[in-house]
Amino acid sequence: ESIDELNEYLALLCKTSAKLAQFLMKISQMQHDDPFVSEMDRMIDEENVISQGETTRDLNKKLMEKLKQLKTYYQKQKNQTERNQSTSNLAEIYNLLNVLNGIPMVSIQLDAIKNYQQTLLESNQRDISTTKTK
């Protein structure tokens, strides 16, 4: 994948995440605490602590700066979404999720999550089956 494609994916992720955050915050009535921003803040803080150490300082500082840029870009997208005041419905959310699934890295991660959930489900079913036969 080229740098241009990755940048397009990043822009798509930010725009879609902003719409998803607006939808989730609206239905959960959680108007002030954006979970995406909270998680980005956590990662920025973590990279800041790591960059204070003796090793890999430069890479962590660069990562921290990129995370800050990502957070700023995300917040701009979120503000634009809020200004449009168009609340997404469930069908639009499913469409957004399908669009995200079209990003190769996201698709791979979602497949890994599905496989993990399936393995966990099968393990729990075996545990229940074993418990019932005792």
Domain that holds residue 129: 103-134
- Top-confidence range, 1-5, 14-18, 109-113: 109-113
Among 50-64, 95-109, 116-130, the least confident range: 50-64
Buried b (16+ CB within 10 A) or exposed e, 80-91: ebeeeeeebeee
Q: Which two tokens stand for residue 103?
A: 């990003």
Q: Do both 58 and 108 map to the same domain?
A: no
Does 68 share its domain with 45? yes
Give just the sign of the alpha carbon dihedral 62, 105, 95, 90: negative
Average pLDDT over the chain, rounded to an integer: 85
Q: Are residues 96 and 110 in the same domain?
A: no
- Considering the entire predicted model, what is its pTM? 0.66
Indicate the SS3 state at residue 93.
Answer: helix
Q: Do residues 62 and 109 share a domain?
A: no
d(CA 25, CA 94): 16
Segment (H or E) for 113? helix 104-133
Tally of domains in the chain: 2
Q: List pLDDT tens digits, range 79-97.
A: 888 888 666 788 888 999 9
The answer to whether residues 112 and 61 belong to one domain is no
Same domain, 96 and 107: no
Q: Is the torsion defined by CA of 88, 94, 95, 99 positive or negative?
A: positive
Q: What is the tens place of the pLDDT at every residue in 30-69?
A: 667 787 888 889 999 988 888 787 666 778 888 889 999 9
Check whether residue 66 and residue 112 sit in a common domain: no
118 and 76 co-located in one domain: no
What's the Rg (C-alpha) of the chain? Answer: 19
What count of Cα atoms within 13 Å lies in the side-chain half-sphere of residue 93? 11
Q: Based on the fold, state whether residues 66 and 109 are members of the same structural domain.
A: no
Strand residues in 16-62 grouped as ranges (E): none
Q: What is the rounded distance in angstroms from the CA atom of residue 52 to the CA atom of residue 60?
A: 9
pLDDT above 70 coverage of the chain, percent: 91
At 28, the amino acid letter reads: S
One domain, residues 116 and 76: no
Same domain? For 76 and 17 the reply is: yes
Residues 134, 79, single domain; the answer is no
